[in-house]
Amino acid sequence: MTSGNAVPVSDEPGVRYELHGPVATVTLSRPDVLNAQTPAMWTELGNISRKLPGDVRVVIVRAEGRAFSAGLDLSVARGEGDSSLARLAQLSATECADRIAGFQTAFTWLRSPSIVTIAAVQGHAIGAGFQLALNCDMRVLADDAKFSMAEVTLGLVPDLGGTKRLTELVGPSRALEICVTGRRIPADEADRIGLATAVVPRADLDAAVSDLAAAILAGDPGAVAEIKALLLGAPQRSYAEQDRAEREAQTRRLSDLLGSGE
C-alpha cells in the first residue's frame, strides 16, 4: 500500500505505521493470529493519531496476512492483566466506562474531518476488526472479505464506536439483525447493503485502495475537509440546518480561495 520510498515511522508489536507524503498507512501486523487485537495495539493506534503530521490527508488501514482482523485477542481478554475482562468487571462503573473510553479513542480518531480514512479489508473482519473498518470513511473489500459483529457470542456488546456508523449505513433494523446474530456477512452482501465502498478481486485490493487515495488527493484539501465535515454532521441536522452548514462552508471556501474582499 506504500511505495518503496515510504518512511517507516513506527513498528510497535502488532501495528506498523508508515508515511509516504500525504498518505499514512497503518498496518495490523500479527498475521500469525489473524491480527487479533490487544489493548497494547489500541494504545499504539491512539498514539498514531496524536503524531500524524498536519499535512497527512489520507490514512489507509490495512492488515497483513489472510485476514483483516479476527477481533479481540481472547487470550489477552481472558488473562490476568489490567485490561482483561475479569479486571474490567472488578472496576467501578465509572472506572470501567473510562477504561473503555480510552480503548475507543484508538478507533474514533479515524472519523476526524481533517483526514479521509480507507479500510482495505481482506478475509475476516470480526468484532473489533469490523468496528475498525466501520470507523473508516470508506471500506474497500477483497472479494473474500467477511464482516461479523460477534460480540454477542461472548455476551458482550459492540463498544468500539461501530454501532452508530453501522446503523447509519444499513438502517436500525438491519444493524440490529447483524449485531444480535453475529452472522458472517460476505463481501457481495456487504456491497449490496451499503457496507462496502467497493469490492475487488483479492489480487487487486492494494491497487484499488491506492487508486482511491490518489483520487482523494487530487481534490482540493480544504474542500475535501469541508465536504467530510458536512456529511458527518448531516444526520444530526434538519434540512434547514444542513442548508445553513452548506452556506457557511462555501463562504469559508470562497474566502480561502479568493480572499475576503475587504
Number of Cβ within 10 Å of residue 23's Cβ equals 22
Grid cell digits, residue 132 = 475498525
Task: Say if residue 256's pLDDT is above 70.
Answer: yes
Average pLDDT of the residues in 59-82: 87
Phi (first) and psi of residue 66, to 5 degrees:
-90, -5
Report residue 6's pLDDT band, with 50, 70 and 90 as the boundaries: low
Distance CA 177, CA 196 (A): 18
> 178-213: per-residue pLDDT in tens?
999 999 999 999 999 999 999 999 999 999 999 999
Task: Say if residue 262's pLDDT is above 60.
Answer: no
pLDDT reported for residue 8: 57
Distance CA 150, CA 257 (A): 47
Task: Say if residue 261's pLDDT is above 60.
Answer: no
Task: Say if residue 63's pLDDT is above 60.
Answer: yes
H-assigned helices in the chain = 39-51, 74-77, 85-90, 93-108, 128-135, 163-170, 172-181, 187-193, 205-217, 221-233, 239-258
Report residue 76's pLDDT band, with 50, 70 and 90 as the boundaries: confident
Number of Cβ within 10 Å of residue 164's Cβ equals 13
Number of Cβ within 10 Å of residue 5's Cβ equals 7
Describe the strand order of the beta sheet including 124-126 as a list of residue ranges: 124-126, 146-148, 185-186
The residue type at 118: I
CB 211 within 8 A of CB 198: no
Report residue 4's pLDDT band, with 50, 70 and 90 as the boundaries: very low
| Cα angle 154, 178, 103; round to 5 | 55
pLDDT > 90: percent of the chain: 82
pLDDT reported for residue 1: 44
Say how many Å lie between the first and final Cα of the chain, rounded: 45
pLDDT reported for residue 173: 97
Task: Say if residue 2's pLDDT is above 70.
Answer: no
Task: Say if residue 260's pLDDT is above 60.
Answer: no
Grid cell digits, residue 203 = 489480487
Task: Say if residue 227's pLDDT is above 70.
Answer: yes
Output 13 or 179, whichever has higher pLDDT.
Answer: 179
Give the rounded distance of the alpha carbon of 88 from its chain centre.
Answer: 24
